[in-house]
Chain A
Amino acid sequence: MANITSIFKKITMISFAWFVAFLVYANLEPAPLHTYAPPAAMVIFKSTDLKDNEKVKQINDVLEKTNGITANAINLESQLISIAYHPEKTNTNSLKDLLKNSCGIDLAIATYERNETPQPECPIPHGVFANLEKLKYAFCFR
């Protein structure tokens, strides 16, 4: 029993030390400006149905009125529609359905072929760093 209590105490002490260290690290410098901006994601659609400026205007009007979209650009020449959106308010599939139903256009997510040989990449997923950064700034009180 005494042994368990001692282990528990040690774990508590170590956890507390880690927490204090993390708190100090998080407050070494103030959070950068971008942490105050709402998060945004992006999707790029390709559509061969982009034929004229009238269609461009129609799509733009639909997107402007849609909640959760922060920006959009439609280019006739490249036949690309890029949409920046708040990921907690909408998603790629909803946007695709919206444009298909409201504007009658077929869309596919634009794909880009890689010409160069792939560069070596960090094996740790980028999302891990992003979440660590979020956690760090959540504990930043400067």
Chain B
Amino acid sequence: MKKSFIWSLFLITSCLAVFSCKKDEPVTPTPTPSLYDRLGGIAAISAVVDQFIANVAADPEMQRTFKPLLEDVGKNGAESARLRLLRANLIDQIGEAAGGPLKYKGKDMVTAHKGMKITEKEFNALVADLVTALNKFKVPAAEQNDLLTVLGGLKGQIVGQ
């Protein structure tokens, strides 16, 4: 009995000695999740893109710029190839800009907007439509700013082409 008590005491003391001498390992900071993850991944991005396209389609400021798309939607309905392409490209582009896993493989912005002569007013209306979509899904201000900063960098390649 006495022997086992001594052994238990020895064990506890050893454990205490080992753990108290344990050097503190440097705390590695948890990596900040990407904007893509903070936005909610593919499901959230596709929902925002759908809302964004819906806003654009109803916006009187956007009727000139998006006329070919709107024509195609009016003519072909659910089979609209232009809509499918725009949606796919927006999902890929926003997903990539937000640090998502895959790459945008569409045309570069200058080529895609060549001849469209998009004005600054139209660009701002487009951004407003995107902000409305983000607000509808209650995307926090920090995430909105991060996304708009990335996309705002494309303004020079879109306006006036």
Chain A positions near chain B (C-beta within 8 angstroms): 30-34, 36-44, 70-75, 77-78, 80-84, 87, 91-92, 109-112, 114, 126-127, 129-130
Contacts and interface: CB of A to CB of B under 8 A. Distances in A.
Interface of B: 42-43, 45-47, 50-51, 53-55, 57-60, 63, 67, 70-71, 73-74, 77-81, 83-84, 87-89, 91-92, 95-96, 100-103, 105, 133
Given A73-B55, A75-B59, A78-B60, A42 B73 contact: yes
B92 A34 contact: yes
Given A70-B47, A72-B54, A75-B60, A43 B88 contact: no
A71 B47 CA distance: 7
Nearest to B105: A32
Nearest to B79: A127
Contacts of B102: 30-33
A14 B71 CA distance: 43
A84 B50 contact: yes
Contacts of B101: 33
A137 to B, nearest CB: 11
A44 B78 CA distance: 11
A78 B63 contact: yes
Contacts of A30: 102
A38 B46 CA distance: 8
Contacts of A40: 46, 50, 87
Nearest to A127: B79
Given A41-B78, A83-B54, A33 B42 contact: yes
A91 B79 CA distance: 12
Contacts of A38: 46
A74 to B, nearest CB: 7
Nearest to A44: B57
A30 B46 CA distance: 19
B99 to A, nearest CB: 12
A44 B53 contact: no
Nearest to A35: B88
